[in-house]
Structure 1
Amino acid sequence: MINPSSACSIPSPGSSLTPIRGDRPTALIIGGGVIGASSAYELGKAGFACTLLDKGGWSQEASTAAAGMLGAQVEIHQPGPFYDLCRASLAIYRGWAEELEDAGGIPVQYIPEGIVRAAMTADDEHELRSRLPWMQDASWLTAEELLRIESELSPGILGGLHLPEDHQVHPVWLAKSLRAALARQGCLVREWTPATRLLTDCTGSVCGVATPEGELRADLVVLAAGAWSSPLTEPLGLKLPIFPVKGQCISVRTDAPLIRSTVFTKGCYIVPKSDGSYIIGATQEQAGFDKRAHVSTIAGLYEKAAALLPRIADAEFVSTWTGLRPGTEDELPFLGTWEHAPGLIFATGHYRNGILLAPVTGKVVASLALGAAPELDLAPYAPGRAAGSRGQEIPLTL
C-alpha cells in the first residue's frame, strides 16, 4: 500500500502544493501518452486523486506514431514472458475499451477484424512458419486462402499468417476516450507542464516533482514519460537505457473499402479505419529527437504498401506525421518499482506496444499502488535491471 507522504515532505518556499481532494491519496503521473493516461484512469478507479503532467500537448509522441494494432501475435517474434504480457493485455482489451466508452462517452473505434501477415519472399515465409509452434490463435494460409479473405492483396504473396484475434483501435480516439474518462473522474490534466526533477523526502522516498511552475507533491508518482524518462531517474542513481525511435506514418483514403482486416508484411502495415482512411506505417529510425518527416522514407513506405495492396496507389493522400517511441536496449518496458526509490512506479519504455499494453499496464500500476498479490511475473521488466540489480517485487493482481 502506498502511504501518504511523511511529515518531512514540506515544500520549499514559493512552491505550489498538489491540491488535497478529500481523504483520497494523491498521485502524480508524468506523461500524457496512452500509458500515462491508462495508469491515471486505473488509479482513479482505485481511489486516487490524480494529476497528469505532460511536457507538451495531449498524446503527441509515441501514441501518435501508432496505427492502433493490437498485435499480440503479429509483432512478437518469440515466446516468453513478454508474449504472455501482450496476450494478457489483449485478453482484457475489448472489455476495457467498452468500459472506457461507458466512462467517458467517446468510442475508441475498436475493430475486431483480425490481421493478415503476408509473406512476400521465401525467407519471410520461412521465418513466419517458424513461429507457428508457439503461437496461439494463429494459422498458416496459402496465397489462395488469403486472397479469399482479402481479395485486393497482391497475387504475388506466398501465403501468410491469419491472426483473427489481433484486433485494432484508433489511437487518436483511444486518447480522446481516455481523456474524457479522466475528466469525469476529476483527474487534473496539465499540458505544457514538464517534470524537470523528481522530489524526495528525508526518508529518500519520491514525493513529487519539480516543474517550471513550482513543485507538486503527491503520495505516489508514476513515471510514464516515454523517451524522456531517463533524465528524471539519473539523479536517483538509475540511468534507464531508453531512447527515441522515430516512426513515420502515412494516412490515405479511398472512396470504397479495399480491405477489412489489417494487412501486414515485412516493413509495412496497412490498417483500415472506420472513416474510410488507412494508416500506413511505420518506420523505425534511431534519429534522436528529430521529428521531421522525410520524403525518401515516406516514399519507401508507400512502395512497400503498394507492393502488398496494389490498389492503394489509387488512394487519396491525406497526411504524414512522425512520433517518437521509447525504445529500450532489451526491447522490454520498465514496469514495476525500484527499492531505492520508494513512492515511484515505473511504466515506461513500451516501444511499439504502448497501445496494446495500455490496459494491462494501467492495472499493474494500480495494483502496485494498492499492494495486491501477484499473478504476473514482473521480474523481466524490473527497473533495477538497468543498474544490474532487480527491482523490488511488489504483489500484483490482474
Structure 2
Amino acid sequence: MTIQKNQTTAAGAQPSALIIGGGVIGCAAAYELGKAGFRCTVLDKGGLAQEASTAAAGMLGAQVETHQPGPFYEMCRASQRMYTEWTDELEQASGISVQYRAEGILRAALTAEDEQELRSRLAWIREAEWLEPSEMLRLESELSPDIHGGLHLPADHQVQPVWLAEALKAALVNQGCRIREWTPAIRLLSEPGTGRVTGVQTSEGPLYADLTVLAAGAWTPALTEPIGLSLPMFPVKGQCISVRTDAPLIRSTVFTKGCYIVPKLDGSYIIGASQLEAGFDKRIHVQTIAELHAKAVELLPRMAEAEFVRTWAGLRPGTRDALPFLGVWDEAPGLVFATGQYRNGILLAPVTGRIVKQLALSEQPFLDLAPYAPSRVLKAATATI
C-alpha cells in the first residue's frame, strides 16, 4: 500500500494517521505508527480502553486460548514472543509499569472429557507439558484435589490490562499523539471515483489523514457497510470479577473450562470471563457473578473465602470464523483494518501494531495476512451463491 498525501497535508510534511478506536489494539497501532514518523490522532466514541480491553484479565495465552494449530496460533505465538521486549520499551516510553508476570498458566482438567481434549493438544502445542494431579498440586497446593491433571504452559504470561492501557496512553501523549475521546466516528470519508479513504466524519466535524486505521472493535461494521463491505462481526459481552484473599493462594494463573483465575500484583485476583452474545448490552448480571464464582471455587476451593471487590463487563469484537480482520482492501485504499481480535486483543497488540506499521510503510508484513483479509467475507458470500 502506498501512502498518498491528501489535500490537507503539505508536500514534504510529516504523514498523518487517524486511528479509529482507542482500545489496546488501536493504541498499539498508533504507538508503532508514531515511532515510524506518523503524526497520529486516536479517536474513540468513549474513553480509551473501556470496552474489550477492560473485559480482559491480561493473559498472554497463546497456548491456552487457542484450540487448534494453524496460522492464527502461529500469529499468537509470534506476538507472545514479542511481548517482553515490547513492554520493556513501552515502560521506558511511558514511565508506567504494565505489571508483567511470567509465572505461566496451569490449565487444569476437572472432568475426564476435558482431560482427553487437553491431552490431544500436546500433538501441536509448542510449549506445554502434561502434569499428573500430584504434580499440579506440587506447583499450586490450593488447587482442588479432584483435578484430573492438566497442562503446564510456562510461556503463557500475563500483564495488568488497565496499566497496559495507561502505559500506551502515556507513551502516545509523549509522542505528541492527539487523543480525541468521546468523539464518535459517524462515517468514513473517501474520494469520489477512487474510493480512497481520506478520513472520517465525526460528531464534531470531519477529520482527514493520509492513513486511516480501523480498530473500532464490535462497532466496525457500521463504518464498513456504507463503503460496500459487510463484516460479520458482533459484540460478545465478557463479565469479570475481582476478589481478594487474606493471604496469597496461587502464583500461577489457573484455568479450567469456563473459568480462569489470574493473580495480580496488588493481591487481588481476576476471575473470568463470561461469553454472551447480547448485543450492546453491558448490564451486570448477578447470575453470571454467581456462576463464575462457583466455577472458581470448584477449581480453587478457598476462593469461597474471598472478599468481593468489584465486577465489570466489556464488549469483545467477535467474528463468525473466529479470525480477526487485519490488512487492507483494494476497494478502499488508504484504509488499514485492525479489528476483530475477540478474546486476544491484549495478546495480539504487539504483532498487530507492527503489521499496521509495515503496511503503512508499504513493507512486506512479516506474517502472511491472507487468512485475515477483509475481502474474505466477499469470497465467502460468492461461494454460497
Asked if these proteins are the same fold (TM beyond 0.5), I'd say yes
Note the 1:138-153 alignment, pairs <5 A. 138-153=128-143
Please report how far the alpha carbon of residue 137 of structure 1 lies from its aligned counterpart in structure 2 after TM superposition.
1.0
SS of the equivalent of 2:60 reads coil
Map of 2:3 onto structure 1: 3
1:258-273 to structure 2, matched below 5 A, reads: 258-273=249-264
In the aligned structure 2, how far is the partner of 1:389 from the partner of 1:363?
A: 28
Aligned counterparts of 1:200 and 1:174: Cα–Cα separation in 2 = 33
Aligned residue runs from structure 1 range 298-313, under 5 A: 298-313=289-304
The alignment partner of 1:339 has SS state of: coil
Aligned match of 2:164 in 169, 174, 189? 174
Query: Does the CA-based 8 Å contact 2:58-2:160 persist in structure 1?
Result: yes
Q: TM-score, normalised by structure 1?
A: 0.93
* Structure-2 residue corresponding to 1:282: 273
1:354 aligns with 2:345: yes
* 1:172-207 superposed Cα distances (whole Å, 9 cap, x missing partner): 000000001001000001000011000001322000
Gaps of 5+ in 2: none
CA distance in 1, matches of 2:16, 2:6: 13
- Mapped partners of 1:142, 1:353: distance in 2: 28
* Preserved contact between residue 5 and residue 15 of structure 2 (Cα < 8 Å): no
- Between the aligned partners of 2:60 and 2:6, the Cα distance in structure 1 is 41
Q: Mean alpha-carbon deviation: is it higher for 24-33 or for 381-390?
A: 381-390
CA distance in 2, matches of 1:385, 1:46: 29
Inter-partner Cα distance in structure 2 for 1:275 and 1:46: 35
State the match for 1:14 in structure 2. none
Deviation per CA, 1:264-304, whole angstroms, max 9, x where unpaired? Answer: 00000000000000000000000000000111111011000
* Counterpart in the other structure of 1:51: 41
Supply the distance in 2 between the matched residues of 1:204 and 1:292 (Cα, whole angstroms).
Answer: 39
The counterpart of 1:24, out of the listed 5, 14, 17, is 14
| Equivalent residue number for residue 77 of structure 1 | 67
Structure 2 counterpart of 1:227: 218
Deviations 1:328-357 (Å, cap 9, x if unpaired)? 000000000000000000000000000000
Q: Structure 1 residues 223, 154: CA separation in 2 closer, same or farther (over 3 Å shift)?
A: same
1:362 partner letter: G
Letter in 2 for 1:4: Q
* Alpha-carbon distance in structure 1 between the residues aligned to 2:263 and 2:47: 26
Q: Distance in 1 between matches of 2:118 and 2:130?
A: 9
Q: Residue 58 of structure 1: CA displacement?
A: 1.4
Tell me the distance in 2 between the aligned counterparts of 1:3 and 1:115: 42
Task: Tell me which of 309, 321, 324 is aligned to 2:315.
Answer: 324
Q: 1:257 aligns with which of 248, 255, 263?
A: 248
Query: In the alignment, residue 294 of structure 2 is paired with which amino acid?
Result: E
The letter of the residue matching 1:295 is: V
Write out aligned runs for 1:116-195 (5 A): 116-195=106-185
SS at match of 1:161: strand
Distance of 2:73 and 2:115 partners within structure 1: 21
Q: What is the identity, as a one-letter code, of the residue corresponding to 1:97?
A: T
- Summarize the Cα distance change of 1:21–1:119 in structure 2 as closer, same or farther, 3 Å threshold: farther
Q: Give structure 1 stretches of 5+ with no counterpart.
A: 11-18, 391-398
Mapped partners of 2:234, 2:213: distance in 1: 19
Q: Would the aligned equivalents of 1:70 and 1:90 in 2 still touch at CA under 8 Å?
A: yes
Give runs of aligned pairs for residues 82-97 of structure 1, distance below 5 A: 82-97=72-87
Residues 1:361 and 1:82: Cα distance change in structure 2 (over 3 Å) = same
Q: Is the 8 A contact 2:325 2:373 kept in 1?
A: yes
